[in-house]
Amino acid sequence: MYKRAAEQNCLSLLQLCNSLSKLTQIQAQIIKLGHKNNPLILSKLTSISSRFDAINYACSFIFSPESETHYYDTFLFNTVIESYAGTAKFKRAAIHYYKEMLSHCVEPNNYTYPFVLKACAGIKDLSLGKTVHGSVWKLGFSPDPHVSNAMIHMYCSCESGIEFAEKVFDEMAETSSVSWSTMIGGYVRCRMSSEAIRLFRKMQVVGVRPDEITMVLVLSACADLGSLELGKSIESFIENEKFEMRTELCNALIDMFAKCGDVDKALRLFKDMPTSKRTVVSWTSLIFGMALNGRGLEAISLFEEMKQAGLGPDEVTFIGLLTACSHAGLVEEGETYFDLMVNYYGIVPRIEHYGCMVDLLGRAGLVKKALEFVDRMPVAPNHVIWRTLVSVCCGQDKLDLGEKITKELIANEPMEESNYVLLSSIYAKMSFWGKKTTVRKAMTKKGIRKVSGSTVIELDDGV
DNA sequence: ATAGGGTTAG
């Protein structure tokens, strides 16, 4: 009886724990009360510690070299794997503990695999995912819907695995809106948006009712396709079916209308949202919408309004804002906002932010400044940055420099078709017909298909 | 006593 009370005591202490210092005190209590090998308490310790990023600390205690292993059980390992799978940086540790579990002959169950597969998805390890799939099959967990859905999600998250996801999905005996949403989301992620829409139609034919999450995904497919007609039909569907207008669904509608060109409709939807429901995503979607529709000044006022509303912009907001400055030719504003982002908001610029700045300077004709900016960047320029520089050079009739950079690009990515198109168009501008033919030959030699129709027209324009 | 899909960019 005393033991039970002590266990309850430890569990309720853990429930209230919200910092590492409290955790160490509770840990001392656990040892004192003789519960350092109690799987239930250790599981609770694990899940609680993952809430304040102390999972590594908790596991070093649970799995210390001198700890006895007889208490290791499935539930404890499941919790450890789940906690690690939910971290940003230590997903591999989830796999490590899954392997530990197997080597200690602790049997995984149907709860184990969704966690393990989530970790595989997070680290995009297809071959590991396939191995886990094999174990799932051998152990007979394949019919479990949670396991299957996690499997689909895993294959969709690993690049070039989509057909494996389709296979798992097709073989499911019973599907739910979760399975369909997982698959639709997988297509959207792979930019196979038409497939996503096709599957959504099929879902209705088969008679599985979509939910709010399905609709968010379908809207992002519409946004990707840029089809306003399709987007509007989905909007009517949402209205007719009386879906709950959650923030995420409103945001998806705003994003869809903005990307499909009806930015005024996006603005109306945004204004109709209760102020308290607007999130940084709502604002950012609208700022992007303005930027992409040539309304840079409105994007800037929205950003200022957002600050007034007391919402902190994130790194994505700044990509939108800098894009707006770039498209509107607002060089000084762009430079000021870049500084604000770094020095006031403490956001470490990513390659995308640098790309915006190169674009900003380049479009304004400041080629030299753009090149100096790239030189000073603390990160290595990627092909997007180089391509931006090339188009800047071409626009400013600095064809020699453009040619030099493009040759570098080709040296780095010899199989990338668009690089040859760039070089070809530079030579077309230079009227070096002989060289242009050489480029075509080099492409054929490397087994690269002919350039697409639209590109050919563009090249012929140059003629 | 632990489970599956989601919004902005890339």
Per-residue pLDDT reduced to its tens digit, A115-156: 999 999 999 999 999 999 999 999 999 999 999 999 999 999
Question: How does pLDDT run across A308-343, given as a tens digit for each residue?
Answer: 999 999 999 999 999 999 999 999 999 999 999 999
CB A7 within 7 Å, strand B: no
In the prediction, which pLDDT does A391 show? 81
CB A251 within 7 Å, strand B: yes
Nucleotide B5, nearest residue via CA and C1'? A182
- How distant is C1' of B3 from CA of A77, in Å? 14
CB A153 within 7 Å, strand B: yes
Mean pLDDT score, A76-99: 97
Q: What is the CA radius of gyration of chain A?
A: 27
- How distant is C1' of B3 from CA of A349, in Å? 37
Question: How does pLDDT run across A24-83, given as a tens digit for each residue?
Answer: 999 999 999 999 999 999 999 999 999 999 999 999 999 998 888 999 999 999 999 999
- How distant is C1' of B2 from CA of A114, in Å? 11
In the prediction, which pLDDT does A409 show? 81
- How distant is C1' of B4 from CA of A64, in Å? 32
Position A395 pLDDT exceeds 60: yes
In the prediction, which pLDDT does A430 show? 79
Mean pLDDT score, A433-458: 55
Nucleotide B7, nearest residue via CA and C1'? A248
CB A147 within 7 Å, strand B: yes
Position A396 pLDDT exceeds 80: no
Query: Is residue A399 a contact partner of residue A426, using CB atoms and an 8 Å limit?
Result: yes
In the prediction, which pLDDT does A458 show? 33
CB A43 within 7 Å, strand B: yes
- How distant is C1' of B10 from CA of A329, in Å? 23
| Relative orientation angle of helices A145-157 and A112-123, to the nearest 10 degrees | 10
CA-closest candidate to residue A277, choices A251, A256, A259: A251
Let me know if A171 is exposed, middle or buried by CB neighbors in 10 A (0-12, 13-18, 19+). exposed
CA-CA distances (angstroms) from residue A10 to A16, A59, A175? 10, 17, 41
In the prediction, which pLDDT does A53 show? 92
The nucleotide minimizing the C1' distance to residue A313's CA is B8
Query: Is residue A48 a contact partner of residue A19, using CB atoms and an 8 Å limit?
Result: no
CB A261 within 7 Å, strand B: no
Of A residues 270-299, those with CB within 7 angstroms of nucleic strand B are: 279-282, 284-285, 288
Nucleotide B2, nearest residue via CA and C1'? A79
| Relative orientation angle of helices A331-339 and A351-363, to the nearest 10 degrees | 160
Of A residues 409-448, those with CB within 7 angstroms of nucleic strand B are: none
Mean pLDDT score, A371-398: 86
CB A212 within 7 Å, strand B: yes
% of residues, chain A, pLDDT over 70? 93
Joined together, the tokens standing for residue A240 give 């007719």
Position A455 pLDDT exceeds 70: no
CB A38 within 7 Å, strand B: no
Of A residues 171-200, those with CB within 7 angstroms of nucleic strand B are: 176-182, 185, 188
CB A120 within 7 Å, strand B: no
In the prediction, which pLDDT does A454 show? 35
% of residues, chain A, pLDDT over 90? 75
Q: How confident is the model at residue A262 (pLDDT cuts 50, 70, 90)?
A: very high
CB A67 within 7 Å, strand B: no
Position A279 pLDDT exceeds 50: yes
In the prediction, which pLDDT does A411 show? 79
CB A223 within 7 Å, strand B: yes
Mean pLDDT score, A382-404: 83
- Lowest mean pLDDT, pick from A63-67, A270-274, A345-349: A63-67
Question: How does pLDDT run across A397-427, given as a tens digit for each residue?
Answer: 788 888 888 887 887 777 777 778 778 778 8
In the prediction, which pLDDT does A462 show? 34
C-alpha to C-alpha distance for A387 and A141, rounded to whole angstroms = 48
- How distant is C1' of B6 from CA of A87, in Å? 18
Nucleotide B10, nearest residue via CA and C1'? A352
In the prediction, which pLDDT does A446 show? 64
In the prediction, which pLDDT does A441 show? 67
In the prediction, which pLDDT does A37 show? 93
CA-CA distances (angstroms) from residue A113 to A46, A190, A359, A428? 18, 24, 45, 56
CB A388 within 7 Å, strand B: no
Buried/exposed A121-157: b ≥16 CB within 10 Å, e otherwise = bbeebbebbeebbeebeeeebbebeebbbbbbbbbbb
- How distant is C1' of B3 from CA of A361, in Å? 50
The nucleotide minimizing the C1' distance to residue A384's CA is B10
The nucleotide minimizing the C1' distance to residue A213's CA is B6
**Residue A8: how many other CB atoms lie within 10 Å:** 10
- How distant is C1' of B4 from CA of A398, in Å? 54
State if pTM tops 0.85.
yes
- How distant is C1' of B4 from CA of A105, in Å? 26
Chain B bases having any atom below 7 Å from a protein CB: 1-10
CB A40 within 7 Å, strand B: yes
The residue written with tokens 């034919």 in the block is: A205
- Lowest mean pLDDT, pick from A184-188, A215-219, A396-400: A396-400
| Relative orientation angle of helices A247-259 and A263-272, to the nearest 10 degrees | 160
